[in-house]
Structure formats: C-alpha cells, structure tokens
C-alpha cells in the first residue's frame, strides 16, 4: 500500500484531547489512515523560515511542519494568496491587489514547501495537494525530480479565462497546475472554467474525458464535491437540542421563528447583502414583524487585512440601522455576533432554525448548507435559502435558490419559507437529505484518491 502524503497550507495538528480540528481535517479523516503524512505550515512565524520540517507522530499519523519567516507570511499569505488569488477566484476583481513582490514571494514559498517535503518522500507515496495557496507546488516538486502520483484539489471556485487573465502571470499558474496528474474541483462549472483556461493559456484542448496532454504529461480532471458526515452531524444536532445554550436561545425567542446564518467574516459571504435582504423582509412583509429573529454568527478572520476590518464596520452599521428601524422594547430583529461558536452548539441552533440563509456571493461549496439539512427534524424541518453562486447549489436544487445580489428576491424567499406548508417542507427536506447523505466527506476522499491511484505514471 502506498502512503498518502497530504499537503496543505496549514497542518491541522491534534489537540490535547487527540481530536483533529478544522474543516480540512474533518474532510480528510477517512483518508488519513495510520501511516499517512500531513505536511504544511505550522502557523508560526519567525525571523527566518525553517531549514527542515519538524516531524511528530500522533495516533499513527505523521505531521511534518515548517515555520515561515515574517516576510514569507506577508508576501505569500497576506499578499498574494489573500490579496490576489482569493478575490480573483471569487470573481471580485475590483478587490484584487497585485504586487509583483508578493507574487514572487508566493512562488518562493511553494518552492520552499517542495524543498522541505522532498527529503521526506518515498518512491511509492501518493501526494495530495490542497487549495489555492499551493497552486505551483506540483510543478515545484516535478522540477526537483519527483515522479510520484500528484493530485491537486481546489476547494474554492475557479474562474473563466476572461476573469483569470485579470491576474498578471495567470498563465504561469495554469501551467504549474498541469504538472499534477489529477486536478479536482467542487463543481462541473469550475472544471469547465479550468479547462477553458488551459486552452487559453497553453493552447491545449481537452479530450472527451476532460483531460489533456502537454509536453508529454497527461493531466486528468475530476469533479468531486466535498460533503459532511451527515448521519454523525444529525446525531450531534439531536444531542445539542437539549444543551443549555440551545434552551437559552429558545427561551430568548419567546415563540418567534429563527433564521440563522453562520459564516466566516469574509466579503465573499454576502453578509451586507443578507442584512439588506432581511431588512427588506421586514419592510415588504410586515406580517413578520415581531415574529422572526435573524441570528448571524460571523466569526472574525484575517483581521490583519484592511478590507476585512472595513467589512466589520459596514456590518456593524447595517445591523444598527435595521435594529434601530424595527426593534421593539422586547424584540431585537437582528442578532449579530463575531465570536466563534462551538460547532456542537451551532448544530443545536440549526435544528431549531426555521430558515438557514446561505447566500454567499461566490463559494466553492459551503458546507453550512449541508450541515443545516442534516441537523433538521425530518418531521418538521426548516427551509434552506441558498445562493445560486454557492457550489452546493449544483447539488441541492430543492432549496430555495436565490440571487444574493437581489435583496427583494431573497426577502421574498424568506417569506416563502416562513409560510411554506409542512407537507412541502418535508418533501423538500427529504430530497435534500438524500443528497447530503450520498455525497459525504468519505465519498469525497474515496472518489478522488481512487481516480488518482488508477492513473498510470511514468516512473
């Protein structure tokens, strides 16, 4: 059996209790069997980068991490990854802040990762690289003579060529991705955009199997939507329904319906537009005044980036305006919090909610939508209001699909959810739950790795 080597920007190290935290850790739990290696950044910064990876073992898994220099962090992570690639790949070209020095820092850190990983590799290792921070690492490994199978999975969207070429040196990134044997995406649209970009940047056309050959190397592609352990999350939600925090929330609602949004505090999540839509619900459908409360949990992230600070100020203002216009002495329509809430607690909140608002402006998948469906009481389920621009919308077609830029339409969808007959809610939820149970974290790992290991390589 070949060893699996997972490479990601951050390594999700075991906690003191032995559990692995973080979205990628949860998604890869099925694949990370004893003997696997997880390689990446430790999250620590110093005067210089590590001259070799620090290797530890825990629970049969090996973790290899390196520290970055402060300059590496600023250029690779804050500068190019989050200042250029993140807005670009979420179609927000107006927010792109390209600096040549940051781009060169990005390439240098991808090379650094390759330099530190190569001494740890075995000839039969299967390498699986994850996400936009490491777009050029497969190519960096090839330039160091690595002939192992290499897979790459992009967890966020991929844009069409017309958008991609806004970024200087975009063609370099596409050619570097082609060094992988298998490139994976969340949706068919993302894969199509990548293949069109390959044609644009490399003058190579895909074949009928959605693969292509360039300079003698064949690259295949796969659509492998990521999912959750639906049954496990459902059990968590049922337990959490009896927790003290859930009971406190129930008491505070005083019989009112709950709408919930759970997101990172990020400009891709459409939070200002969501607040506007909730305000429009109260304005367009006054019958819901004093009968619904929106709880928006938006955990702070990337606070050293200016535009995230601006977003927080904008949301503070909008929340104040809505509550100032509509609140009563015993009712606050919009509850907005930016601290992190325990995932188990959130599961209980999902089960209680009548509506989930998952309305990003663009998202690779968005597992909140799937968690909400899994958490529901099948006999009296809530309704999912889902952005057409979330990757999950390609699968979860029985949700109320909306354009998040249209506040009136989102408000009307919330109204439809609130007045929807029980029979329709049950039917929609049953169809959605079947899909969430079928496309899981385990199936994501299984499908991608099975395809990668089936690829013939030239040793």
Determine contact, residues 127/7, Cβ cutoff 8 Å.
Answer: yes
Whether pLDDT at 19 is above 50 = no
DSSP assignment string, 34-57: TT-EEEEEEEEEESS--SS-EEEE
Q: What is the pLDDT of residues 369-394, one digit of tens each?
A: 999 999 999 999 999 999 999 999 99
Annotated catalytic residues are: 155, 363
Q: What is the pLDDT of residues 249-293, one digit of tens each?
A: 999 999 999 999 999 999 999 999 999 999 999 999 999 999 999
Phi, psi (deg, nearest 5) at residue 128: -125, 110
The tokens for 173 are 């990134």
**How many Cα neighbours within 13 Å face the side chain of 48?**
3
Whether pLDDT at 303 is above 90 = no
Whether pLDDT at 304 is above 80 = no
Sign (positive or negative) of CA dihedral 145, 151, 152, 158: positive
Q: What is the pLDDT of residues 332-362, one digit of tens each?
A: 999 999 999 999 999 999 999 999 999 999 9
pLDDT reported for residue 377: 97
pLDDT reported for residue 305: 62
Whether pLDDT at 314 is above 60 = yes
pLDDT reported for residue 20: 43
pLDDT reported for residue 40: 97
pLDDT reported for residue 14: 75
Please give the angle made by the CA atoms of 403, 409 and 415, to the nearest 5 degrees. 125
pLDDT reported for residue 301: 77
C-alpha 114/C-alpha 143 separation (Å) is: 9
Determine contact, residues 369/384, Cβ cutoff 8 Å.
Answer: yes
Whether pLDDT at 16 is above 60 = no
- Please state, in angstroms and as integers, the Cα–Cα distance from residue 199 to each residue in 48, 134, 196, 204, 206, following that order: 39, 22, 5, 5, 8
Phi, psi (deg, nearest 5) at residue 304: -90, 5
DSSP 14: B
Q: What is the pLDDT of residues 234-245, one digit of tens each?
A: 999 999 999 999
Sheet arrangement for strand 334-337: 334-337, 292-299, 257-264, 355-358, 383-387, 400-402
Average of per-residue pLDDT values in the chain: 94
Determine contact, residues 272/307, Cβ cutoff 8 Å.
Answer: no
DSSP assignment string, 419-449: H--HHHHHHHHHHHHHHHHHS-HHHHHHHHH
Q: What is the pLDDT of residues 422-443, one digit of tens each?
A: 999 999 999 999 999 999 999 9
Query: Quick one: average pLDDT of 416-426?
Result: 98
Q: Is 65 exposed, middle or buried (0-12, 13-18, 19+ CB in 10 A)?
A: buried
C-alpha 300/C-alpha 264 separation (Å) is: 6
Q: What is the pLDDT of residues 168-195, one digit of tens each?
A: 999 999 999 999 999 999 999 999 999 9
Whether pLDDT at 73 is above 90 = yes
User: Which has the higher per-residue pLDDT, 19 or 256?
Assistant: 256
Percentage of the chain exceeding pLDDT 70: 96
With cut-offs at 50, 70 and 90, classify the pLDDT of residue 36: very high
Determine contact, residues 430/230, Cβ cutoff 8 Å.
Answer: no
Please give the angle made by the CA atoms of 336, 342 and 345, to the nearest 5 degrees. 85
Query: Quick one: average pLDDT of 147-159?
Result: 98
């Amino acid at each position: 059996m070949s060893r699996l080597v997972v490479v990601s920007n951050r390594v999700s190290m075991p906690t003191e209790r032995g559990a692995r935290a973080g979205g990628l850790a949860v998604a890869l739990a099925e694949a990370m069997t004893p003997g696997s290696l997880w390689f990446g950044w430790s999250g620590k910064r110093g005067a210089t980068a590590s001259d070799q990876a620090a290797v530890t073992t825990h629970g049969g898994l090996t973790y290899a991490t390196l520290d970055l220099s402060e300059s590496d962090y600023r250029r690779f992570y804050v500068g190019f990854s989050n200042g250029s690639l993140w807005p670009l790949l979420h179609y927000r070209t107006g927010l792109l802040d390209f600096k040549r020095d940051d781009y060169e820092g990005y390439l240098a850190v991808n090379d650094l990762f390759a330099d530190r990983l190569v001494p740890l590799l075995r000839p039969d290792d299967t390498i699986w690289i994850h996400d936009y921070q490491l777009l050029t690492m497969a190519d960096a490994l090839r330039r160091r003579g690595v002939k192992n199978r290499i897979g790459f999975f992009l967890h966020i969207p991929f844009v069409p060529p017309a958008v991609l070429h806004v970024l200087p040196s975009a063609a370099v990134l596409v050619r570097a991705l082609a060094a992988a044997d298998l490139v994976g995406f969340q949706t068919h649209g993302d894969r199509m955009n990548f293949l069109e970009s390959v044609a644009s940047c490399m003058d190579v056309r895909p074949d009928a199997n959605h693969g292509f050959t360039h300079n003698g190397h064949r690259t295949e592609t796969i659509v492998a939507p990521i999912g959750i352990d639906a049954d496990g999350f459902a059990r968590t939600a049922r337990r959490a329904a009896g927790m003290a925090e859930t009971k406190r929330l129930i008491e505070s609602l005083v019989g009112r319906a709950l709408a919930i949004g759970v997101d990172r505090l990020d400009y891709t999540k459409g939070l200002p537009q969501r607040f506007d839509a909730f305000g429009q619900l109260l304005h367009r459908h006054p019958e819901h005044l004093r009968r619904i409360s929106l709880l928006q949990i938006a955990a702070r992230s990337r606070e050293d980036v200016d535009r995230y600070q601006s977003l927080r100020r904008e949301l503070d203002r909008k929340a104040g305006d809505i509550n100032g216009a509509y609140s009563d002495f015993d009712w606050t329509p919009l509850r907005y919090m930016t601290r992190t809430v325990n995932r188990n607690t959130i599961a209980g909140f999902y089960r209680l909610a009548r509506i989930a608002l998952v309305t990003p402006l663009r998202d690779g998948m968005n597992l909140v939508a799937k968690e909400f469906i899994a958490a529901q009481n099948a006999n009296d389920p809530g309704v999912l209001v889902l952005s057409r621009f979330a990757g999950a919308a390609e699968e979860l077609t029985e949700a109320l699909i909306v354009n998040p830029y249209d506040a009136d339409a989102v408000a009307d969808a919330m109204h439809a959810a609130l007045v929807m007959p029980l029979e329709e809610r049950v039917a929609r939820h049953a169809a959605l739950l079947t899909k969430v149970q079928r496309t899981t974290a385990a199936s994501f790992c299984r499908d991608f790795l099975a395809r990668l290991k089936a690829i013939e390589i030239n040793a």
